[in-house]
Amino acid sequence: MKVKIPPYPNYRITESLFEKVKSDTVKTTNSEPLSSKLIMISEFKTGEKRVIRARPIKHNNNLYVSAFPNPVHLFLSVAIEHFDLSENIKSTNFPKCGKQYGDDLYLLDIEENGTHTCYNNYIKYRSSSIVMLVSSIEAFLNHILPNDFVYKTIRKNKEIKFNKIEIESPKISFREKLTKVIPQYLSTIDLSPNLELENISILDLYKNRKNLIHLKTNADDDLTAYFDEIDKMLEFDLNETIENIVSFMNKVKPEFIEFEKN
């Protein structure tokens, strides 16, 4: 399951406008006149023309230029890839790394002051997947709200309004943005999907990510420190959560997430 990562922005341009702006473009094979923030007009094999952004990457005095990816898709793609890696480690590497000590008991060898790479990688990729899933959701919530959108709510018995900048600030919690701001926005565009199941799943994910980022060390001793948070992370149903996140995004913005065909 591989996410298609579209450029951002990805504007279509008409033939007349293309001819108009073509004279203002820079045609060069030398990186000297180029900045680190480029706007490109690309003509594809189909004949369609698009306006895209590019942020060149410099390496060994060369500039490598490509379309700037939509961060929402990019973060979601990383999350899914890391989840798949963790599952592959569990199903493929664990049987190879572990030494059998009974009917169904295997030990992944450890040494003094050392831990097992195979076991570490499994935890590493699962925790990374959780962090990137939340990053993709947070980016998506900010991405879909128009700059002129105003969120209205009641606080201390008074109506209060928040503009886009305030919505993206700590003034609005993640939970409120998910369960209050987004439904209000959707009502303005006559779209009211049932998001109850997806919201529950996303809030569980957010809580799990918060526990990982703010690992508790105030345990009775070193034998219990971190254990509860890591235990919850290992038992968390990431596969179902990924499905619910994709469902949420596509309900809010139809066909927003697409997958590459094998």
Q: According to the model, what pLDDT value does residue 97 have? A: 86
Confidence of residue 179 (pLDDT cuts 50, 70, 90): very high
Residue 37 pLDDT greater than 90, yes or no: no
Confidence of residue 198 (pLDDT cuts 50, 70, 90): very high
Residue 219 pLDDT greater than 70, yes or no: no
Of the listed ranges 24-33, 39-48, 133-142, 195-204, the least confidently predicted one is 24-33
State mean pLDDT over 108-135: 90
Nearest Cα residue to 138 out of 112, 170, 177: 177
pLDDT tens-digit readout, 67-98: 899 999 999 999 999 999 999 999 999 988 88
CA atoms within 13 A on the CB side of 145: 26
Mind spelling out the 3-state secondary structure of the chain? CCECCCECCEEECCHHHHHHHHCCCCCCCCCCCCCCCEEEEEECCCCCEEEEEECCEEECCEEECCECECHHHHHHHHHHHHHHHHHHHHHHHHHHHCEECCCCCEECCCECCECCHHHHHHHHHHHHHHHHHHHHHHHHHHHHCCCCCCEEEEECCEEEEECHHHHCCCCCCHHHHHHHHHHHHHHHCCCCCCCHHHHHHHHHHHHHHHHHHCCCCCCCCCCCCCHHHHHHHHHCCHHHHHHHHHHHHHHHCCCCCCECCC
Nearest Cα residue to 131 out of 79, 187, 87, 181: 79
Confidence of residue 200 (pLDDT cuts 50, 70, 90): very high
Residue 196 pLDDT greater than 70, yes or no: yes
Q: According to the model, what pLDDT value does residue 112 have? A: 73
Q: Which two tokens stand for residue 145?
A: 């709200």
Confidence of residue 26 (pLDDT cuts 50, 70, 90): low
State mean pLDDT over 49-58: 86
Residue 32 pLDDT greater than 90, yes or no: no
pLDDT tens-digit readout, 204-215: 999 999 888 887
